[in-house]
Structure 1
Amino acid sequence: MVKTRGEKVKIFDSTLRDGAQGEGISFSVLDKLKIVSLLDDLGIDYVEAGNPGSNPKDLEFFEKVATLPLKRVRLVAFGATRRRNILPQDDANIRSLLTANTPAVAIFGKSWDFQVTDVLNTTLKENLKMISSTIAYLVEQGKEVHFDAEHFYDGYQDNPSYALECLNAAAEAGAASLVLCDTRGASLPSFVREATRVVVETFPNIEIGIHSHNDISFADANSIVAVEEGARQVQGTLAGFGERCGNAFLASIIPTVQLKMGFSVIPEESLSKLTLIAHSVAEIANNPISHDKPYVGRSAFAHKGGMHIDGVGKNPRSFEHIDPLKVGNERRLLM
């Protein structure tokens, strides 16, 4: 995939929704308001703020967040496609998305035929209608709609033509982006690269995104290879926590995509706030960032051992891949 240096890659943070599904995570409304403000200060493009149709606490949050003087972030309400065999306007969960009064909405829909027939208990044809009619209705209501193709990589492996049909239904209905989800977090980077390349080539005129889980430790790698193949939206959580083994660790992905790959991700002046803001979000969640995490971990630029300390003293490039100050971290010499 040919890229232009400085080309934009958007960041879609799901700390308040997917992150809240992590074990032991429970946000109050005040917690969520603080996190939105922190993510806005960092320069994140989208914040998925919750599911108003399933959580009364989220309804209160959406009322209060509308009063915040946000500078950059676009708030996103999250929900599913309509239920089978009804109209979108008759679905209570779809109506609740409109009451959230956010400029953008993320709609998840099935793209794995097994999930359609064995979990939704509907037909493949009806599922396509559920995707297209839901998105078309929300677009008519003036919403920017992001389609999360749930289980996309599993679906593409089992039935690639149907998985692509689901994406096409969303695209034709007016979706602003097609987000490829590794919902079980079990896809290998080589397969994610192959499938993402096909999607980018098939849908050249719509933004492609990636949403990875970390069940086999490849959430970050899968996000990076998707960007290499043309994805221009990366979803995850800033501090990495989320359902099961967590989500893509945005505090690592952001500087990698910006500093190593040459894309524009967040404002340069915001990058130096990354360590502080990532730890602040983790502290609010009572889920501290491990010392050994890349870029923002306490030990990310810690050096122990005479040869290493001597090398860093002569030239930091000998053992540091970036200046820690670029991400707001610091060099530590351990004696």
Structure 2
Amino acid sequence: MAERVYLYDTTLRDGTQGEGISLSVEDKLKIVRKLDELGIDYIEGGWPGSNPKDMAFFEAVKNVNLSHAKITAFGSTRRPGIAAADDANLKKILESGAQTVAIFGKTWDFHVTEALQTTLDENLFMISESVQFLKGNGLEVIFDAEHFFDGFKRNPDYALKTLQAAAAAGADCVTLCDTNGGSLPHEIEAIVREVASHLLVPIGIHCHNDGELAVANTLAAVRAGARHVQGTINGYGERCGNANLISVIPNLQLKLGYDCIPEEHLNTLTSISNYVHEVANQVPPSHQPFVGKSAFAHKGGIHVSAVLKHPETYEHIPPESVGNRRRVLVSELSGQSNVLYKAKEWNYDFDKHRNRSREIINTIKEKEHQGYQYEAAEASLELLVKQAVGELKDYFTLDHFKVFVEKTGSETLTTEAVIKLLVNGQVVHTAAEGNGPVNALDHALRKALEEFFPIIKNMYLSDYKVRVLDEADATASKVRVLIESSDGKEKWSTIGVSTNIIEASWYALIDSVRYYFMKHEDALKDCPAYQLHTVKS
């Protein structure tokens, strides 16, 4: 049977100390439910004595039915010179109703004398008496040894005495903290192994990511004997963040063979990661290991060819094991394998030995040379491929469009677009206003097509990005426009490139509409303009 490693999540406390991270009480409760479902053992809710919001969380979480996790309060040892029973912060911990507490204490002599400005002996009493007080009130106590690795490197005897004081007072676990995040894996492993030879209580590890080694340091600590692991979802935390549990869990469970969460929950890691990003109003990093959109994305032709034969040639684990999926990108670096993979993904019958695949690759490479970037606009790529195989319908044809922008004196700027289209042999000529040229074009195009394709009412533009490709040409520069569209259920991205921003936007705009129509052929059958011709390749 695999050895157990207990997971302690501090996203709701340490994670919220990260720049740009702020969670309401309701946000915290949502995340608590997800972490409990995942199988996290301890969920640290906050510091009851530090602010009213954390106290409100502990009151609210009492009404949440949890199947596995223990809600944990956070706090510090008593202040110098007062009794633990009289310490306001320790009293607040008891008032929170939490049955588990993590209290931190100083283990680096430099911090004791300079930050706390007390004696080394008094600090030992502060640790011991605080643990005794909380244990005496029936709590499970985890002692977080703040700055332990820095303290041990400078004064190992005193750093060990702080741990021994906590253990002797009844601490259920002592967690060694790399608070400044500057230690290296070999240092962590050696020091944890040394500590383990002096203590009988379970040892934990809490690493920060200032050297981008928090995950590596955590794994090193477990290898040396730590069986309690602290971290945050997505690595949120102060400065450079904390150890990322989304990476720690699969490394411990899939690579090192430890038991962390139920095996059947591993494939929820990607959805949990994205959920927490969403609640925290953060954009999920594409390159986040294990769960990022690019974590199993393949671009080079040689890579894709090998992955098609045996996925393990360029994938360290099956993406499905953590709830992710394989993606193949098509760009100027692509070979036939990339196009064949995408064709198969889109259910197109594409023979590797036909000249068509090579023609498509050459077209893609030429367009990427012009400034297109299909890995960021797969909807436009699919349209290109479908046109090449002769399956793209000619939903509408542009005759011309005009855009008028007018500003007179102090009057509000007005924009109007006029469009003339050919739809199923019928000329449609219409105009619409908008709050800018692209918005006006979007409105005019919709107005022209609604009569023929009513389903266009279901889609909308959700994002619009412009990038200048050759800044040296100033206002004559070529621009790339990326448009993201949605129907409330799915999202897709399209691209346009031109030296004229309006023309580039038009290309991306019509690709977005054509892609939506293409994906909803069944819904078009009842539309007046369904009898369509295919676009010539």
- Same fold by TM (over 0.5)? yes
Matched, 1:65 2:61: yes
Is 1:33 the counterpart of 2:29? The answer is yes
* Alignment: residue pair count: 330
**1:261 and 1:288 mapped to 2: Cα distance?**
30
The correspondence for 2:191, drawn from 176, 181, 195, is: 195
Amino acid at match of 1:175: A
| Aligned equivalent of 2:234, options 239, 247, 252 | 239
Equivalent residue, structure 1, for 2:148: 152
Taking the aligned partners of 1:282 and 1:103, their CA distance within structure 2 comes to 28
Q: Which amino acid in the other structure matches residue 295 of structure 1?
A: F
- 1:49 equivalent to 2:45? Answer yes
Q: Which has the higher contact order (CA 8 A, sep 6+)?
A: 1
- 2:210 counterpart of 1:215: yes
State the distance in 2 between where 1:288 and 1:174 align.
43
Quick check: 1:301 aligned with 2:296?
A: yes
Shift of 1:191: 1.0
Q: 2:125 aligns with which of 108, 123, 129?
A: 129
Letter of the 1:285 partner, please give it: A
Residue 247 of structure 1 aligns to a residue whose secondary structure is coil
Matched, 1:119 2:115: yes
Which consecutive residues of structure 1, in runs of 5 or more, have no partner in the other structure?
A: none
CA distance in 1, matches of 2:284, 2:142: 29
Aligned mates of 1:78, 1:256 — CA distance in 2: 27
Aligned residue in 2 for 1:272 = 267
2:179 matches 1:183: yes
Note the C-alpha offset of 1:289.
2.9
1:324 paired residue number? 319
Q: Deviations over 1:252-291 (max 9, x none)?
A: 0100000000000000111111110011111111223311
DSSP-derived class of the 1:49 partner: strand
Question: What's the CA shift string for 1:83-131, capped at 9, x where partnerless?
Answer: 0111111011000000111110000000000000000010000000000
In 2, Cα distance between the equivalents of 1:93 and 1:191? Answer: 34
CA distance in 2, matches of 1:36, 1:235: 15
Aligned to 1:281: 276
Deviations 1:276-323 (CA, angstroms, capped at 9, x unpaired): 001111111122331111111111111112111111110111111111
* Residue 231 of structure 2 corresponds to residue 262 of structure 1: no
Task: Name the CA distance, whole Å, in 1 between partners of 2:53 and 2:233.
Answer: 22
For residue 197 of structure 2, give the secondary structure of its aligned residue in structure 1: helix
SS at match of 1:270: helix
Q: CA RMSD in A?
A: 0.8
Q: 2:102 aligns with which of 96, 100, 106?
A: 106
1:135 positional shift:
0.3
Distance 1:304 1:39 in 2: 34
Deviation at 1:162, TM superposition (A): 0.2
C-alpha separation in 1, matches of 2:116 and 2:307 = 57
- 2:71 pairs with 1:81: no
Rounded to whole Å, the distance in 1 between the matches of 2:38 and 2:146 is: 28
**Which residue of the other structure, out of 284, 304, 310, is the alignment partner of 1:315?**
310
Higher Rg: 2
Secondary structure at the counterpart of residue 264 of structure 1? coil
Q: What SS does the aligned partner of 2:72 have?
A: strand
1:194 maps to amino acid? A
- CA offsets per residue over residues 176-231 of structure 1, 9 Å max, x none? 1110000011111111111111011111x211011000111111111010000010
4+ runs deviating over 6 angstroms: none
Q: Match of 1:28, as an amino acid?
A: S
Structure 2: 5+ residue stretches without partners: 331-537
Q: Please say if 1:206 is aligned against 2:201.
A: yes
Secondary structure of the residue aligned to 2:276 is: helix
Structure 2 CA distance for aligned equivalents of residues 42 and 318 of structure 1: 30
Other-structure match for 1:291: 286
Question: What SS class does the counterpart of residue 294 from structure 1 fall into?
Answer: coil
Report the 3-state secondary structure (helix = DSSP H, G, I; strand = E; otherwise coil) of the residue aligned with 1:47. strand
Structure 1 residue 55: Cα displacement: 1.0
Give identity over the alignment, percent.
55
Cα distance in 2, alignment partners of residues 33 and 251 from structure 1: 19
1:15 correspondence with 2:7 = no
What is the TM-score when the length of structure 1 is the normalising length?
0.97
Once residues 7 and 215 of structure 1 are traced to their aligned partners in structure 2, the CA distance between those partners, rounded to angstroms, is 29
d(CA) in 1 for partners of 2:277, 2:235: 9
- How many angstroms apart in 1 are the aligned matches of 2:127 and 2:178? 18
Task: Output one character per residue of 1:221-247: Cα deviation in whole Å (capped at 9) or x when no partner.
Answer: 110100000100111101101000000
Q: Deviations over 1:152-178 (max 9, x none)?
A: 000001100000000000000000111
**SS at 1:79 equivalent:** strand
Name the structure 1 match of 2:463: none
**Structure 1 residue matching 2:103: 3-state secondary structure:** strand
Q: Which residue of 2 aligns with 1:229?
A: 224
TM-score of the superposition, structure 2-length normalised? Answer: 0.61
SS of alignment partner, residue 260 of structure 2: coil
SS at match of 2:144: strand
